[in-house]
Amino acid sequence: MKTNRVLIPVVVIVALHFLFCFWYRNVLTSDSIARQKESFFEKHTSVPRIWFFGDSHPMLGVNPAMLPGSFNFAGTSENYFLNYVRLKQMISEKQKPEILVLPAELHSISEQGNVLVLGHELDDVYWSDRISFSFLSEEKMEPSFTRWWLSARYFPYAGQFYRIFSQWKKNAYTADSLGFISSAEDYGSLKEEERMASASARYQSHFHSYPAVDSFQIRFLRKTMALCKSEGIRLIFVQYPVTDEYRKFCEENAAVLKVDTVLKNEMKGYPVLSMRDSFAGSPGLFSDPDHMNTKGATQVSERIALFIDSLRKTPAVKP
Amino acid sequence: MLFNSLEFPLFLAMVVMLFHLVNNNLFRQYLLLGASLFFYGYWKWSYLVLLLASSSIDYWAAIQIGQHEDQKKKRLFLLLSLAGNLSILLFFKYGKFLGESFFADDENLPAWLNVVLPVGISFYTFQAMGYVVDVYRNRLPAEKSYSSFLLFITFFPQLVAGPIERAPHLLKQLKDFKHDIDVKWMPGLWLMASGFAKKLLLADRLGVFVDAAFNHPGEATAPQLLVATFFFGFQIYCDFSGYTDIARGISLFFGVDLMKNFNRPYLSRTLADFWRRWHISLSGWFRDYVYYPLGGNREGKWKMHFNLLTVFALSGLWHGANWTFLIWGLWHGFGLVAERIFTGPKPEKNPGIFHFAITLMWVFTGWFFFRVNSWSDILFFKQAVSSASFWTLSDFNLFHSNSELLLSVAGICLLWFWEAIQNKEWLSGRTLSMNLQTLFLIATLFTVLWFGHFKGQDFIYFQF
C-alpha cells in the first residue's frame, strides 16, 4: 500500500513527462525553420554544392533558385556557434558542400548569439539533437552550455508555454524547397519617421543589451574556418545590405564599428563580398531596416551568383 | 549551488536517500555536515575556509564563556567572538564600499579590498553571533560537539539565505536524528513546490521587467518605474519567501522544522504588523540582540524612537553596503516612529482599510529605494520628475510579450487571493485527501515546468 502511494505518482510523473516531451518535439515545434529546411534538403537526390548558412540576413536575402546547385539553410538568429554545430554534424553524415557561404554582419559576433541559445529562444530540440556529450567535452564547452544542453534535451518543454499558443497562429515563415523564405513587405512604403523608428528598434535589439564583440562567437568562427580547411570546403563571406537608417545608427556606435575591424582581421585571405552599402537609397528593396524583401533578394542573389562565378575562375588562396 | 540549478535535485536526492538508508544518528549528522560543506564549497571552495574559521572562533568563544564563572572573562570572550564576526562582515561586505569612499574612485582601490562577497555571509555570521550571545546570557549551554555546532551554522537548506535560526530551536533538532524522526514528506513536498512556483513562475518573470526599468534609468519613464516598483515588491517577496519555503520543505525531509520567515506580509494593516510578518527571523534577531539591549521602549518615548531608527538603519545596512539600503531602512524606521506617534503604541488594535492602503503604499515606496541601483540613480529620477517626457505613456512597453504580462498579473492576483483566504475558517479546517494532494502536487510540478522562467537567476537574498 505504502509502495503504491509512492510508485503510482512517480509512474504518472514519468508518463506525463514523456508525453509532454513527445508533444513538444513532434507537434509544437515540428515546423520550425530549421526542421522545414532540413526535410527539404533530405529530399534532394544529389547534395547541393553551395550551402548558405547564417541568420535572417541570408535567410531572407538569398534565393537559391538563382544560384543553381545551392541550398539556403539560414534561419533566424543562427550564429557562428550553431553554424559550426550544423556543419560538423553534416560532415559526420558524409555530406559537405564545395562552397560554404557565411554572413559577416555587424552583429555576427555579438553576445546576442549565445544569449538566445542559452535563453532557449531557438529550436532547442533541433540544436540539442545535433550536440552530444562528446561534442561538449571535445569543444570544451562552458558549464552554462552543458546545462542548456541537458535541459534542452531532457526537459525541452520547460518554460516554453508560449509555444502552446503559437500553434494556433500561422507560422510566420515558410521555406520553399530550396530553403528560401521570401518577404513581400516594403520598407520603402513607410514614412521617414516610421523608418527611423523601425531602424532604431532593430539597432536596439541587436546592440542595446549585448556587447558587440564576443570571443565565444569568434572562437566558433575560427573552428568553422579550420573545419572547412581540413575538409576542403571553400569558405566565402557575404556582408548583406542594410538600409541607410540602420547604418546611420550603427555608425554612431564606436563599439559596433569595431566589429568590422575584428571581422576583417578574422576573414583575412577569404573572399568577401561586401554589399552593406550597395543598396543605399533603395528602401523599396528591403522588408525592414536590415532585411531584404523578395525584390531585394533577387538582386542580392544575382550579385552573389556573379561573385561565386568570378571565384570559380580563380583558384582558392590558402588563408 | 542554487536550489533552481540542474545539479541540485541530484545532490538532494542523494543526500535524502543516504540519510534514510542508514539509521544512525552520528552517520546522519556527518552526512548532513559533509553535504552542507559540499553545498557551500561547490560555489567557491576558498570561502569554505572563511566559513570554517569564523565558526571555529564562535565555537571556541562559546565554550570559553560556558567554562568561566567570572563575568568579565565571559564578556571578554563574547567581545572576541563579536569582533571576529563583525570584522569579517565589515571587511567582506563593507570593505570595498568604505574603500571606494576613502579612495574616491575604483581605480585607486587596493586589490585586497576588491573581494567577492561570500554568499550568505550576513546570514551565517548573524546566526553564530546570536548563538554566542545566547550562551553568554545563559539561555543555553555551550555546544560541546564541534560537528553539531558546525552543522548548526552550515545546515545547507538555510545556510545561504536563512531563516536566521536560534540555537535553542535548531541545534537540538540537528543533534537528534533517531530512526523514528518525524519526516513529513507531503508537507515538505508542498513547501518545495510552493517555493519553486513562487520563484520560477512569478519572481523571475517579474524580474525581467523590473531589471529593464531599474537598470536603464535614462530610458525608464515614470509609469514604467511605478509598475516596476510594484512588481519588485512581489518579486522580492516571491523570491525570498520562495527560498524559505524550499529550505523549510527540504529540512522536513530530514525531520528538521525550520522557523517560518514570512507570514502573508502584504496583508499587514500597519507597518508594525508588516515587520512582524516580513523576514521574521531577521526582525526577531534585531529585536532581541539590538533593540532590547538598547533599552527598547522602556526608557521613554524619544529613546524608543531613537532605538527604532537605529535598528532600522542597521537593518538597512545589513542588506549591503549601499546608501540606498540605508535610506530604505530609515524610511521604515521613520514610518514606524510616525505610526507610533499618530496611532499610539498599539496601532494594530483598530486597523481599517485606510491603514492597509497607507501601509502598502509605504512599503512599496520603500521598495523603490531598496531596488534602485545607486544614490546617483535616485538623484537622476528626482531630476527627471520635472520633465514632461518622463511622464509619457507613449513608450509604455511593459513586457516583450503580452502573455508574460498576463501571467505576471494573474500570478500576483492569485497569490494575493490565496494568502487572503488561507486562514479563513471555512478553509483552514479542511484537509485534502492524500490522493488529491498528490494530484495537485503533480499539477503544480508540470505547471512550474511549462510556465516557469528558466534563466537560472540567483535568489536575490544571496547577495546579502
pLDDT in tens, B356-388: 899 999 999 999 999 998 888 888 877 777 776
Alpha-carbon span A269 to A236, nearest angstrom: 10
Read off the C-alpha cell for A151: 535541459
Q: What is the pLDDT of residue B434?
A: 82
Give B310: exposed, middle or buried? Use CB within 10 Å, 0-12, 13-18, 19+: middle
Nearest Cα of chain B lies from the Cα of A13 at a distance, in angstroms, of: 7
Full-model pTM: 0.84
- pLDDT over threshold 80, residue B121: yes
Q: Write out chain A residues lying below 8 Å of B441, CB-based.
A: 9
- Cβ distance of B450 and A147 shorter than 8 Å: no
Alpha-carbon span A308 to B418, nearest angstrom: 66
Alpha-carbon span A223 to A218, nearest angstrom: 9
**Nearest-by-Cβ selection for B449 from A9, A150, A155:** A155
Interface test with B, best of A21, A145, A160 (most B CBs within 10 A): A160
Q: What is the pLDDT of residue B442?
A: 94
Q: Write out chain A residues lying below 8 Å of B5, CB-based.
A: 147
End-to-end CA distance of chain A: 71
Q: What is the pLDDT of residue B421?
A: 86
Q: What is the pLDDT of residue A91?
A: 94
Q: Is B393 an interface residue toward A (CB < 8 Å)?
A: no
Q: What is the separation of C-alpha B5 from the centre of its chain, rounded to a whole number of angstroms? A: 19
Read off the C-alpha cell for B390: 518622463
- pLDDT over threshold 90, residue B114: no
Alpha-carbon span B262 to B260, nearest angstrom: 6
Q: What is the pLDDT of residue B110?
A: 72
* C-beta of residue B135 within 8 angstroms of C-beta of residue B142: yes
For residue A226, what are the β-bridge partners? Answer: none
Each residue of A46-82: pLDDT tens digit? 888 999 999 999 999 999 999 999 999 999 889 999 9
Q: Which amino acid makes up residue A188?
A: G
Is there a cis peptide before residue A241, judged by omega within 30 degrees of 0?
Answer: no
Q: What is the separation of C-alpha A225 from the centre of its chain, rounded to a whole number of angstroms? A: 17
Alpha-carbon span A187 to A284, nearest angstrom: 6
Each residue of B18-65: pLDDT tens digit? 998 888 888 999 999 999 999 999 878 888 999 999 999 999 999 999
* C-beta neighbour count of A95 within 10 angstroms: 15
Each residue of B177-220: pLDDT tens digit? 776 677 788 889 999 999 999 999 999 999 988 988 888 877 77
Q: What is the pLDDT of residue A168?
A: 59
What are the residues whose beta carbons fall under 8 Å from the beta carbon of B350, sequence distance 6 or more? none
Q: What are phi and psi for residue B54, nearest 5 degrees? A: -65, -35
Q: How confident is the model at residue B155 (pLDDT cuts 50, 70, 90)?
A: very high
Q: What is the pLDDT of residue B307?
A: 92
Q: Write out chain A residues lying below 8 Å of B6, CB-based.
A: 147, 150-151
Q: What is the pLDDT of residue B394?
A: 61
Q: How confident is the model at residue B353 (pLDDT cuts 50, 70, 90)?
A: confident
* C-beta of residue A91 within 8 angstroms of C-beta of residue A227: yes
Q: How confident is the model at residue B238 (pLDDT cuts 50, 70, 90)?
A: very high
Alpha-carbon span B356 to B415, nearest angstrom: 17
CA distances, B153 to each of A298, B120, B173, B251 (Å): 69, 11, 13, 14
User: Where are the alpha helices (H) located in B199-279, listed in sequence order?
Assistant: 204-214, 222-253, 271-277
Q: What is the pLDDT of residue B241?
A: 95
Average pLDDT, chain B: 86
Burial call A97-106: b when 16+ CB within 10 Å, e when fewer: bebbbbbbbb
Active centre residues of B (catalytic) = 319
Q: What is the pLDDT of residue A125?
A: 92
Q: What is the pLDDT of residue B43?
A: 79
Q: What is the pLDDT of residue A292?
A: 94
- pLDDT over threshold 60, residue A170: no
Q: Sheet holding A234-239: strands in order across?
A: A70-72, A50-52, A99-103, A234-239, A272-274
For residue A237, what are the β-bridge partners? Answer: A102, A272
Q: What is the pLDDT of residue B462?
A: 64
Read off the C-alpha cell for A267: 576573414
